[in-house]
Amino acid sequence: MNIAMQRILDEVSRLSPMERAELLDKIYESFDSEIDSEIKKARAEEAERRISEYRNGNIKSVSAEEVKIKERGNNI
């Protein structure tokens, strides 16, 4: 990963889960500006469901650092 990407990742890790979900959606859309509306609707519904589960305490978030540590452990 280059320095610019690392800086972006560091900034993203400071966002709330909701902000990261919104950012991820925008990045995903940038790959294909003509995403089928049904797929887009289904993704939005799933994102809303997950956010609701998080807010209701049914699931917990995982920090970017925790993900990095776990990934490093899987690559050994």
pLDDT at 56 over 90: yes
Output the furthest CA–CA distance in the chain (Å, rounded).
41
Number of structural domains in the chain = 1
Q: Cα dist. 68→43, 65, 71, 73, 75 in Å? A: 25, 5, 5, 9, 11
- For a pLDDT cut of 70, what percent of the chain falls above it? 92
pLDDT band at 58 (very low <50, low <70, confident <90, very high): very high
In terms of Cα–Cα distance, which of 28, 19, 23, 29 is closest to 54? 19
d(CA 39, CA 35): 7
Give the CA angle between residues 56, 21, 25 to the nearest 5°.
Answer: 140
- For the chain, the average pLDDT equals 86
Residue 68 lies in domain: 3-74
